Chain A
Amino acid sequence: MLLNEILALSAEHLWLVAVAVITAAAIAGPLAVLLTRHARPRRWTLAAVNVIQTIPSLALFGFLLPLPLIGGVGKRTAIVALVLYALLPILRNTVVGIMGIDPHVRQSAVAMGMTDSQILRSVELPLAMPMILAGLRIATVTTIGTATIAAAIGGGGLGTFVFRGIAMVDTKTILAGAVPAALMAITADEVLEWVERRFSV
């Protein structure tokens, strides 16, 4: 019975994390590429995303609740908050990964007559890939943790056990949420690190 609920909530948790990380990557990836081409917006965008990261997660969930469209109790608000958190590591690692490429390599690419999109696809993204994947890994692992708090605003997932356990002052119930979440984080870390190594030059 409990096992069934653990499995169901784990699946829900994983789904929350996957939707949030994929959405964040879809936003942060292209944005990061744009930012590598424009110095001024790069500085203030990274600063803004940095600030979001410093807001305590429970507070961020609280801030989002009263907002129209994205707010309200439920999964959607939870996912919006998780996306906001996942943006920074992906954005920052992609920008740093591309900006950190040996300038002589980029200069050669330009001098040989590669177009900007050829440079991006054939030089910058492959060379930055280990950094980009590291950003994705950090985003995934932290989102697995943060997602437990999503239950506070009706997001579901393994946090449901944690909050129920706190309310009932029942350590076993808290652990039923915390342990699977920790295992999920460790597994994600290992798997993504393996992928990262395969891509390193």
Chain B
Amino acid sequence: MNGLPEANINYDGPMAALVEFQSLTYEIAGRAVLRGIDLRIEENETVVLLGRSGSGKTTLLKMVNRLLEPSSGAVLFSGKSVTASDPITLRRGIGYVIQEGGLFPHQSVAQNVGLVPWLQGWPEDRIAARVRELLEAVGLSAAVYAGRYPKQLSGGEKQRVGIARALAADPPLLLLDEPFAALDPITRFEMQQHFSRLRKAYGKTALFVTHDIREALLLGTRIALLHEGRLDVVASPDDFLRTESVHARAFLATLNEWSPN
């Protein structure tokens, strides 16, 4: 693990982690999927959870908004154990974006994006204004897209709507599970750039799951490498490039392997 001090801007008193995993373990069907996870995520960070498929990334993400509960150990959100929080309130304060989008097929783009504000009882006109603002923020013209249905969207447009939906009620934390994995490489690159700008503009903390080392290096303020349910390396992108871990090196080896023949 890295021992580098975090860049503390506006430090006053002990810095509160927005999310903290403490000796977290998760077992299912007699198998340990996550073992002894310790990780603190400070505000304004983008921690990328990198790992091969099956390494436990999705499982770890789902611990934060209580889609799954730890077998032992704890997850703290804003200093409070998530298992001690009301799951409904907890989830409305955490944005969640998945690869498959998970948009409601029977609702328009505007209804999808306005869902959490609607659940929270915002007045109609405020929801409408927020939906317009967010669609424009993710690069979709509200006039064109608000009335469309998910099946009338391309893969990239669906993910934009998914991100707008996650941001709608202004949650401090975003959880993203391979949101761009199914996109073509050019769209993916555009989305990565766009996400990076958007996250900074809105000042969000993000826990971002990917199996793509490029994406991890591009988006992460820190990269947490998960290997068979354990955290192998936690490092800034620069330090990650220099790490000795064999599992990290295996990912890095895929970077410059292209050669014409």
Residues of A within 8 A of B (CB): 102, 104-105, 107-115, 118, 123, 126-127, 201
Q: Are B116 and A113 in contact (CB under 8 A)?
A: yes
Q: Report 28 cross-chain contacts, Cβ distance below 8 Å, ordered by A residue.
A: A102-B100, A104-B101, A104-B102, A105-B103, A105-B104, A105-B105, A107-B67, A107-B102, A108-B96, A109-B104, A110-B91, A111-B65, A111-B91, A111-B94, A111-B102, A112-B91, A112-B116, A112-B165, A113-B87, A113-B88, A113-B89, A113-B91, A113-B92, A113-B93, A114-B119, A118-B119, A123-B104, A201-B105
Closest to A105 in B: B102
Bound: A108/B107 CA distance, A: 14
Flag whether B90 is at the interface (Cβ < 8 A): yes
Q: Are B67 and A110 in contact (CB under 8 A)?
A: yes
Closest to B162 in A: A108
Bound: A108/B102 CA distance, A: 6
Contact with A along B165-180 (1 / 0, CB 8 A): 1000000000000000
Contact with A along B6-34 (1 / 0, CB 8 A): 00000000000000000000000000000
Bound: A110/B94 CA distance, A: 12
For B98, give its contact among A107, A113, A114, A201 (CB under 8 Å).
Answer: A107
List, in ascending order, chain A residues with CB within 8 A of B96's CB: 108, 111-112
Flag whether B224 is at the interface (Cβ < 8 A): no
List, in ascending order, chain A residues with CB within 8 A of B98's CB: 104, 107-108
Q: How many B residues face the partner with a CB closer than 8 A?
A: 23
Bound: A201/B151 CA distance, A: 10
Q: Are B105 and A111 in contact (CB under 8 A)?
A: no
List, in ascending order, chain A residues with CB within 8 A of B93's CB: 113
Flag whether B115 is at the interface (Cβ < 8 A): yes
Contact with A along B53-67 (1 / 0, CB 8 A): 000000000000101
Bound: A6/B165 CA distance, A: 59
Q: Are A126 and B106 in contact (CB under 8 A)?
A: yes
Closest to A116 in B: B88
Q: Are B106 and A201 in contact (CB under 8 A)?
A: yes
Bound: A118/B115 CA distance, A: 11
Closest to B88 in A: A113
Bound: A118/B67 CA distance, A: 17
Q: Counting chain A CB atoms within 10 Å of each CB, which of B65, B90, B96, B102 scores highest?
A: B102
Bound: A102/B104 CA distance, A: 10
Min Cβ gap B9→A in Å is 30
Bound: A49/B237 CA distance, A: 60
Contact with A along B74-114 (1 / 0, CB 8 A): 00000000000001111111101010111111100000000
Bound: A73/B142 CA distance, A: 65
With A104-B98, A104-B101: A112-B106 Cβ-Cβ less than 8 Å: no
